[in-house]
Structure 1
């Protein structure tokens, strides 16, 4: 079993925009249960199927498999819950780690979140100056939650 250890933060300024190339991601959920998720994603020209277990703090089980691009597109169009999550992702190296900054589109426009994957739950890391409040445990910021409660419907972030 693969384990994903990830911390999530809000972004507080625009300094990140010039630091990485944006790649469009389209993703949807075949299952968005809090105990397990099954996600289909198209990132650039690659299709992926990802299965994740329930979060245990910043860690959870993760299994990811490449799938044919046309099959990923068909799953997104025909079977995934709505709305799809669409975003531009920039991968930004900083102090020995890679930050993934997601700028959401559509019903989640206005939301910008940065994530860092870590080798251990207690790993130390430096924060870039564009990182704000940590939202790791806030379920509203889970991508799978954004299909049921898009950012545009929130009264406050």
Structure 2
């Protein structure tokens, strides 16, 4: 079964900006519960449908399928629950790992999160100096939750 093992971190500073090129992303959810989510995404000029299972630790089942970008656009506009997630994703290689840094826009403006996918949950990581607090186990930072409760609506005590 395809399993995603991923850790998430807040990003500090902006030294990471010079290390990778960004690609615009739009994504929305057809359903998003703690047990499962079904997401549609446009990444640059490609469309995807992704089904994810419940997160256990840092792992969860994940199935992703390419779909025509015009289908993805129509699904985002007509079937997904607003607001949509808008972000620019930067891919940065660091010490043998690929980091994906999401700089959010729209309702989640001001939030920057780095994710790293691992081969196993105990894999050693050499952290770049722009990595801050780990938020892997904080569901507020799941994209599916950011669509339902955007960062712009968080009070100062939630940040």
Distance (Å, rounded) in 2 between the aligned partners of 1:105 and 1:5: 25
Normalising by structure 2, we get a TM-score of 0.98
2:47 corresponding residue in structure 1:
47
Structure 1: tracts of 5 or more residues without a match? none
Partner SS for 1:144: helix
Instruction: Report the equivalent of 2:147.
Output: 147
Structure 2 gap segments, 5+ residues each? none
Within a 5 Å distance, the mapping from 1:17-56 to structure 2 comes to 17-56=17-56
**Structure 2 SS opposite 1:98:** strand
- In 2, distance between residues paired with 1:82 and 1:76? 9
Per the TM alignment, residue 148 of structure 1 is displaced from its structure 2 partner at its CA by: 1.4
Aligned residues: 157
Q: Which residue of 1 aligns with 2:73?
A: 73
Give the equivalent residue in structure 2 for 1:105.
105
State the match for 1:127 in structure 2. Answer: 127
In the TM superposition, residue 127 of structure 1 has moved relative to its aligned partner by 0.4
Q: CA deviation at 1:30?
A: 0.5
What is the RMSD of the two structures over their aligned residues, measured on CA atoms? 0.5
> Where is the helix percentage greater, Structure 1 or Structure 2?
2
Mapped partners of 2:80, 2:57: distance in 1: 27
